[in-house]
């Protein structure tokens, strides 16, 4: 997709995004969050079609791309990569957003898939800050909007009634505040990554510990979905930017 087409699509979504966020936060905070995101997007909008084309062969057949992302296999960024590019890619996990971006700058990966905004939680500030620090070393070549379905995952045989602790990334917890309020016996634990939390639940084998993560994470780590769709609003999404070296 050419950047002009991508920009038109992004602008077309802005009004509906503002309505979604304003209904959750109140108009001032919703508009402020959007302003932060779109200022960052404008910094990255000076890109060239040739940058994206560098990931293709001279005959138009796509090479296997290496796409950097923050998190562990099974993370929502991993799922966004699979949806956006199909199976002809290699997703490369990194511990942090700066690490994922540096992999592209250094040429170790062709692209990065970075979340910048969620319909409920708002701007992903840590990702935006990492992008600002990278500056003009990276350019925005595409974007992907992923429908986010948050699931409570437990080891086989576990039940929600016996779960005592739920761990996940802070942004995921922020999207599930109604669920947490309705289940006050659950202790919320913060983890660096949704998929990493799922992996740890699988490794510990404790039926009193659960994770909030994706169905992909459940499949990858052999967990059962105890509750599907615990996000505060049904129309939940995260916007990702695809970045390439400038």
**Gap between the Cα atoms of 169 and 227, Å rounded:** 17
Tell me the backbone φ, ψ of residue 92, rounded to 5 degrees.
-115, 110
**Gap between the Cα atoms of 124 and 116, Å rounded:** 5
Residues labelled as active-site residues: 238, 240
């Amino acid at each position: 997709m050419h950047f002009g087409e991508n920009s038109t699509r992004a602008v077309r979504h802005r009004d509906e995004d503002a309505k979604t966020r304003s209904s959750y936060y109140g108009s001032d905070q919703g508009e402020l969050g959007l302003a932060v995101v779109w200022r960052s997007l404008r910094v990255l909008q000076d890109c060239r079609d040739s940058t994206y084309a560098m990931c293709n062969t001279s005959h138009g057949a796509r090479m296997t791309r290496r796409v950097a992302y923050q998190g562990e296999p099974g993370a929502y960024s991993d799922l966004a990569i699979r949806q956006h590019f199909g199976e002809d890619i290699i997703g490369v996990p990194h511990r942090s957003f700066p690490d994922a971006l540096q992999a592209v700058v250094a040429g170790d990966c062709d692209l990065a898939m970075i979340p910048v905004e969620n319909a409920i939680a708002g701007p992903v500030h840590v990702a935006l800050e990492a992008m600002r620090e990278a500056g003009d070393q990276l350019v925005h070549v595409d974007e992907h909007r992923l429908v986010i379905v948050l699931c409570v995952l437990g080891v086989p045989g576990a039940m929600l009634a016996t779960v005592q602790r739920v761990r996940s990334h802070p942004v995921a917890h922020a999207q599930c505040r109604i669920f947490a309020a309705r289940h006050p016996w659950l202790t919320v634990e913060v983890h660096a990554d949704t998929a990493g939390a799922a992996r740890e639940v699988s490794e510990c084998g404790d039926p009193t510990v659960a994770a909030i993560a994706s169905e992909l994470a459940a499949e990858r780590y052999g967990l059962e979905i105890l509750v599907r769709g615990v996000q505060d609003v049904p129309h939940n999404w995260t916007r990702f930017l695809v970045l390439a070296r400038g």
